[in-house]
């Protein structure tokens, strides 16, 4: 097996899922101008489609957008299958035991808009991804970090 074939075999099923997702009808996106000011609030953002608010700041995701992306992330991560997804370990010619890891073992970095800026987070479970996208991951006490909640 040559190098490029090896590369392709390791792209794995998640890569194929990602490609398939791109073919799905996309959610309403930024082409529509919606200049009303929107807050990081479910009701206020319902139906909003522009990525910036009336002040030109990046706006937070709507509930629909969060749920849409959470679904896609869950499909990508497929964490519930983590253990089952592990390839059967095999003995190597050098006396070691080897196992290949599929993409369910990768960490995933997400971004969402909060306070007009992108926030990034490395997640390892679909549940954590959803919590992050929903804005539920307030930062515990740390002087250097700005908490999410003001009330």
Contact of 133 with 38, CB cutoff 8 Å:
no
Task: Return d(Cα 65, Cα 69) in angstroms, integer.
Answer: 6
Rounded to a whole number of angstroms, the minimum distance from the CB of residue 67 to another protein is: 10
Determine the Cα angle at 5 with ends 2 and 6, to 5°. Answer: 80
Q: How far is the CB of 139 from another protein (least distance, A)?
A: 6
Least Å from the CB of residue 37 to another protein: 15
Nearest CA among 102, 15, 30 for reference residue 61: 30
């Amino acid at each position: 097996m040559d190098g490029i074939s090896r590369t392709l075999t390791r792209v794995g099923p998640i890569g194929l899922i990602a490609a398939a997702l791109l073919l799905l009808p996309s959610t309403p996106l930024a082409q529509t101008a919606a200049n009303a000011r929107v807050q990081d609030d479910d009701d206020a953002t319902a139906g909003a489609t522009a990525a910036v608010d009336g002040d030109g700041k990046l706006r937070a995701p709507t509930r629909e957008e969060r749920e849409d992306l959470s679904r896609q992330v869950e499909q990508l991560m497929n964490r519930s299958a983590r253990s089952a997804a592990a390839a059967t370990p095999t003995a190597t010619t050098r006396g070691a035991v080897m196992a290949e890891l599929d993409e369910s073992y990768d960490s995933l970095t997400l971004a969402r808009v909060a306070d007009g800026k992108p926030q990034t987070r490395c997640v390892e479970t679909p549940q954590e991804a959803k919590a992050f996208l929903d804005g539920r991951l307030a930062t515990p006490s740390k002087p250097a970090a700005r908490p999410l909640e003001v009330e």
